[in-house]
Amino acid sequence: MDWLYLAGRVFFGLIFVGSGLGHFVQLPGMAQYADSKKVPAAKATVAMTGIMLLAGGLSVILGVYMEVGTWLLIFFLLAAAFTMHDFWTVTDPTQKMVEQAMFMKNLSMAGAALLLYYMIKAHGYGPLTLGQPM
């Protein structure tokens, strides 16, 4: 059963690692989009959130500093939900539906990260991890 915990961490963490890398590979375009959403210092913010995503995703996958990693992900997901996926301001019905789905995806992933944080605090890091609880 230990492999299920590892598989869950890998599946959960991979999207953040991929997205974090995307923040750097597509930095100019992502910064332009962030600027259109009125994100302050858009290019620096995209780079900073890319680091947050990479660090958070890798911490979950590897099982090191997971308390910090889960909070990096929670903070990012909630901030992105309310700033980047503000569907309530969108008038185009198709775009509104897309932004609402992205908003809800971010909330559900933040919920999963909160559950992982709770499990770490209540039961420790669990099997097949490289670290120990702080």
Taking only the tens place, the pLDDT of each residue in 13-51 is 999 999 999 999 999 999 999 999 999 999 999 999 999
pTM: 0.93
Per-residue model confidence (pLDDT) at position 97:
98
**Res. 1 pLDDT band, cuts 50 70 90:** confident
Identify the H or E element spanning 120: helix 93-123
**Res. 134 pLDDT band, cuts 50 70 90:** low
pLDDT at residue 64 tops 70: yes
Range list of β-strands (E), the chain: none
Q: DSSP character for 38?
A: T
Task: Report the alpha-carbon distance of residue 17 to residue 77 in Å, rounded.
Answer: 14
Residues 6+ apart with CB under 8 A from 127: 2, 5, 6
